[in-house]
Structure 1
Amino acid sequence: MKKDERASFGPRIKEVRLAKKMTLKEFYGPATKYVNNFSPIENGKRIIGERLLADILRIHKISMNWLVNQEGSMFVEEPTVAEEYKGVPFFNVNFSDITFSEFNLLRETPEYYVNLKPLNDCDAFLTVYGDSMYPKYASGEIIAVREVTNMEVIQWGEAYLIITDETANNMITVKSVFEHYNESSLVLRAFNPAYTGDTIIERSAIKRLFIIKGKVMRNQL
């Protein structure tokens, strides 16, 4: 989508926010920590970035047809009960082969969909590569992840897929997350005792966070 095509999107997104009666923080917080940047975007003084736009459309289920053409419903219509449920998308991606700037995982075309009732509330199935979380998650196993929208609520000791910004070297990793004595920081820890040493990162460095809800073997899919 070209830059000039996005020029009018800010005021229209503001219409959505006001229709949902949400503050800037409530509306944009799940997509970015820089919520104050959206005042000039909503006022038409700045153009929203493509990746951020896609995240906001996904989170708030905003209709692209309405946003671009001002036609139809403001929101994407929920599927009816009669429609067939596709399942959760499976992406066979090795995190070590990608960079943060390329990480638009949930907007890529999945290899296929998985319909597994206990995990149907997840956002994606992903392959584990490496042994840092062995034996909890072995290399080649499939994990089911669900995005965390409120990063103030973290289940200490649970495993997460963590995606960071440049201040944490654009790290993308699966680790157990623990509380740090400094509330602005988090401790990332491998499950495998062979991988010693904790990694300390700032909460503000986390761009996206997914809790691991479960795992399956490939032959179960």
Structure 2
Amino acid sequence: MNLPVDFVDRLCSLNSTISKDWIRTGNGNVLENDYNTNQSYNKDNTYNNTNESLSSGYFRSNSLPLISAETMIEYSVDNKEVAEASATQFLVPTFKGADYLITVIGSSMYPRYNNGDIVACKHLSLNTFFQWNKVYVINTEQGVLVKRICKSNNEDFVTIVSDNKEYDTFELPKSEILSIAIVTGVIRLE
């Protein structure tokens, strides 16, 4: 695709780390290495800074852990440090306010979310005010669900809805929710 030169220049002026070469050709990383701060981005766009460790500074305060479904139990017992310790950290500036990333498994939320997509999540307290019909990551004894939560006729339950019509809607007792997070963004795989 041929883009006007002034468009590329204007786009790159919005963020000095955006790679003009990547926009024009698709080659390399979407973000350029910033030689003034010794920060760089690896081929998978994870952050690397030669002057700071992964456990301190800018990276620590702005990165998001990609946690596994198995590690979600740690969030239910408020042990976030354990959950994040073994997780790969990603710097995704657009997801400010998110607490972690998790990979979508399965097709129950297709076409909104595909198997392998990565969603950004904002961890909430169990007595949260639900935003009906929003997508949440729900940790239960039977595993982690990425589902839409709707109001139930029973005050002690929520209605769990999949976007994929091949999956049935069901009622879940609020008491069976171990931890919950609202989905705030997605990284889509092709």
Task: State TM-score, norm by structure 1.
Answer: 0.51
Structure with the higher fraction of residues in helix conformation: 1
Instruction: Work out whether 1:129 is the aligned partner of 2:100.
Output: no
Q: Is the 8 A contact 2:122 2:181 kept in 1?
A: yes
- In structure 1, how many angstroms separate the alpha carbons of the residues matched to 2:88 and 2:152? 39
Residue 206 of structure 1 aligns with an amino acid whose one-letter code is: I
Q: Is the 8 A contact 1:151 1:209 kept in 2?
A: no
Partner of 1:154: 130
Deviation of 1:180 (Å): 0.5
Deviation of 1:218 (Å): 5.7
In structure 2, list runs of 5 or more residues that go unmatched: 1-55
Q: Is the 8 A contact 1:134 1:191 kept in 2?
A: yes
Q: Deviations over 1:178-216 (max 9, x none)?
A: 000111110001111122x21111111111111111101
Q: Is the 8 A contact 1:178 1:187 kept in 2?
A: yes
Paired residue secondary structure (2:94): helix
Mapping for residues 121-200 of structure 1, pairs under 5 Å:
121-149=97-125, 151-165=127-141, 170-195=142-167, 197-200=168-171
Q: How many residues align?
A: 127
Structure with the higher fraction of residues in strand conformation: 2
Partner of 1:207: 178
Residue 74 of structure 2 aligns with an amino acid whose one-letter code is: N
- In structure 1, how many angstroms separate the alpha carbons of the residues matched to 2:88 and 2:139? 23
Task: State TM-score, norm by structure 2.
Answer: 0.59
In structure 1, list runs of 5 or more residues that go unmatched: 1-81
Residue 104 of structure 1 aligns with an amino acid whose one-letter code is: E
Mapping for residues 71-110 of structure 1, pairs under 5 Å:
83-86=57-60, 87-91=63-67, 93=68, 95=69, 98=70, 103-104=73-74, 106=80, 107-108=82-83, 109-110=85-86
- In structure 2, how many angstroms separate the alpha carbons of the residues matched to 1:216 and 1:202? 30
- In structure 1, how many angstroms separate the alpha carbons of the residues matched to 2:99 and 2:134? 17
Percent same amino acid among aligned pairs? 22
Give RMSD over aligned pairs: 2.5
Paired residue secondary structure (1:191): coil
- In structure 2, how many angstroms separate the alpha carbons of the residues matched to 1:164 and 1:111? 20
